[in-house]
């Protein structure tokens, strides 16, 4: 299923891109390409960081799609601290070269949202899930499956953006947030969920299925 058209550069980065281009252009004009070269390199980095390509959403209503681009750094049973239950947790780490848009892992209603201030440990560490700054969404499907999706700040991430509020309905793979400059997203799933990914897998948000809900 093709998603609706949207800008190929994330709106969260438009100001950053403008400032980077302006600074490089001014130095290039007044001092020449040699002195401007580092600034043009920074501009290229900023543009690639804020790229936001469209994704093909699988037509699989029970398929849980990855909420983020990146590498799987945790898969297994654990405790969901938000819904106080045993759950399957899958964590995806985003480095600075990954797309940083976050997407709903499943279609459903936003039941609740929690924001916690915290620290900024390396997001590859599992303790980041409970100690770093984070924003959690409780999604519930029409079949009453409960899924918790948590945006976690990383070592250099300093801004978690989430546009979903309790009562909103998110589509399968719909873009709902963004984290600037390195981070991770944790997904807590029902304990009987069938896992479809493993440690080290590289995923694309909204496109790659990481699990299947079991009814």
pLDDT band at 119 (very low <50, low <70, confident <90, very high): low
Q: And the tokens for 162?
A: 């989430």
CA distances from 72 to 14, 79, 98, 110 (A): 29, 18, 13, 25
Domain tally, the chain: 2
DSSP, collapsed to helix, strand or coil, labels residue 45 as helix
Whether residues 70 and 32 fall in one domain: no
Provide φ and ψ at 105, rounded to 5°: -70, -20
For residue 2, pLDDT over 50 is answered with no
For residue 58, pLDDT over 80 is answered with yes
pLDDT digits (tens, 9 = 90+) for 3-36: 555 667 778 878 888 999 999 999 998 998 899 9
Answer whether residue 3 is part of any domain.
no
Answer whether residue 58 is part of any domain.
no
Whether residues 81 and 148 fall in one domain: yes
pLDDT digits (tens, 9 = 90+) for 180-193: 766 889 999 999 99
Helices (H) and strands (E) in the chain, counts: 3, 14
Let me know if 183 is a catalytic residue.
yes
**What percent of the chain clears pLDDT 70, i.e. is strictly above it?**
87
Answer whether residue 56 is part of any domain.
no
Whether residues 40 and 68 fall in one domain: no
Answer whether residue 54 is part of any domain.
no
Cα separation, 41 vs 199, in Å, equals 33
Answer whether residue 74 is part of any domain.
yes
Whether residues 80 and 129 fall in one domain: yes
Whether residues 26 and 106 fall in one domain: no
Average pLDDT score over residue span 174-184: 83
Give every CB contact of residue 159 below 8 A, 6+ residues apart in sequence.
Answer: 179, 180, 181
DSSP, collapsed to helix, strand or coil, labels residue 41 as helix
Q: What is the pLDDT of residue 124?
A: 62
CA distances from 47 to 16, 44, 98, 129, 153 (A): 9, 5, 12, 28, 21
Lowest mean pLDDT of 76-80, 92-96, 167-171, 195-199, name the range: 92-96
For residue 72, the domain's CATH number is 2.70.70.10
For residue 123, pLDDT over 70 is answered with no
pLDDT digits (tens, 9 = 90+) for 61-87: 899 999 999 999 999 999 999 999 999
Whether residues 85 and 152 fall in one domain: yes
Whether residues 75 and 147 fall in one domain: yes
Whether residues 164 and 193 fall in one domain: yes
Greatest CA separation found in the chain?
66
Q: What is the pLDDT of residue 151?
A: 93
pLDDT digits (tens, 9 = 90+) for 127-139: 666 667 889 999 9
pLDDT band at 121 (very low <50, low <70, confident <90, very high): low
Average pLDDT score over residue span 194-201: 96
CA distances from 114 to 34, 72, 81, 98, 152 (A): 48, 23, 11, 25, 12
Whether residues 187 and 103 fall in one domain: yes
Answer whether residue 4 is part of any domain.
no
Answer whether residue 55 is part of any domain.
no
Domain of 110, in residue numbers: 63-212
66, 101, 129, 183: which is the annotated catalytic residue? 183
Q: What is the pLDDT of residue 6?
A: 61
Whether residues 17 and 103 fall in one domain: no
Answer whether residue 160 is part of any domain.
yes
Whether residues 106 and 130 fall in one domain: yes
């Amino acid at each position: 299923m093709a998603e609706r058209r949207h800008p190929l550069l994330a709106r969260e980065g438009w100001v950053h891109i403008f400032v980077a281009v302006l600074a490089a252009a001014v130095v290039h004009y007044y001092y020449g390409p040699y002195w401007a070269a580092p600034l043009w390199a920074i501009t290229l980095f900023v543009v690639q960081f804020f790229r936001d390509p469209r994704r093909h959403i699988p037509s699989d209503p029970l398929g849980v799609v990855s909420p983020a681009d990146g590498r799987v750094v945790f898969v297994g049973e654990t405790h969901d601290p938000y819904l106080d239950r045993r759950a399957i947790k899958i964590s995806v780490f985003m480095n600075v070269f990954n797309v940083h848009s976050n997407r709903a892992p499943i279609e459903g209603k936003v039941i609740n949202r929690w924001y916690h201030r915290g620290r900024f440990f390396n997001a590859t560490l599992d303790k980041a899930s409970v100690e770093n700054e984070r924003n959690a969404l409780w999604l519930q499907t029409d079949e009453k499956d409960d899924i918790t999706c948590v945006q976690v700040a990383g070592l250099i991430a300093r801004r978690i953006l989430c546009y979903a509020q309790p009562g909103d309905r998110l589509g399968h793979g719909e873009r709902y947030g963004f984290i600037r400059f390195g981070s991770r997203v944790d997904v807590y799933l029902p304990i009987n969920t069938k896992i479809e990914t493993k440690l080290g897998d590289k995923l694309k948000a909204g496109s790659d299925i990481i699990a299947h809900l079991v009814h």
